[in-house]
Amino acid sequence: MRILLAVDGSEASLRAVQGLVEHVQWFRGHPEIHLLHVHAPIPVGLALTHVSQDTLDRHYREEGEAVLAPAQGLLEAAGLPCTPHIHVGHPAEVIVHQARELGCGLICMGSHGRGAVASAVLGSVAAKVLHLAHIPVMLNR
């Protein structure tokens, strides 16, 4: 099974990684894990007036690698190889799109566990993924 494991560098996303590691026996053999970080876009007009596109791309890549590193470490320590992916865009939309593009059968991610009012006001990437996803979503809090 292919699994898209979305991380944002938060403790909640690392709990999702740990949850997957702890429940890997749910899957036949070792799952094919695609580790994804989605960087919210910096407004391009504003950014490009001060930095080049190459500098901006390097920033996205370096920040993405830094976010993925702890999750990759947990997976590798558990003997679970993964393929890292870094994208820029609206997180929920990119997560669901990448799951479809990669042929994943499960999306795994963390939830910050905000209350109903905070989630309604602030929005929730997890809630949006649940709404948009065409496959099962495993949330860890």
Q: What is the pLDDT of residues 52-62, one digit of tens each?
A: 888 889 999 99
- List domains and CATH numbers for the chain: 2-140 (3.40.50.620)
pLDDT tens string 3-39: 999 999 999 999 999 999 999 999 888 899 999 999 9
Neighbours of 114 (CB within 10 A): 16
Q: Residue 122: is its pLDDT beyond 50?
A: no
pLDDT tens string 108-117: 999 875 555 5
pLDDT tens string 62-95: 999 999 999 999 999 999 999 999 999 999 999 9
Is this prediction's pTM over 0.95? no
Kindly provide the b/e burial profile for residues 16-31, where b requires at least 16 CB atoms within 10 angstroms of the residue's own CB: bbbbbeeebeeeeeeb
Question: What φ, ψ does residue 26 adopt, rounded to 5°?
Answer: -65, -20
**CA–CA separation, 27 and 17 (whole Å):** 15
What per-residue confidence (pLDDT) applies to 130? 94
**CA–CA separation, 50 and 54 (whole Å):** 12
CA dihedral defined by 85, 108, 81, 31, rounded to 10 degrees? -120
- Tokens 């429940």 — which residue? 23
CA dihedral defined by 78, 31, 66, 44, rounded to 10 degrees? -170
- Tokens 């910096």 — which residue? 42
- Tokens 């709404």 — which residue? 131
What per-residue confidence (pLDDT) applies to 114? 53
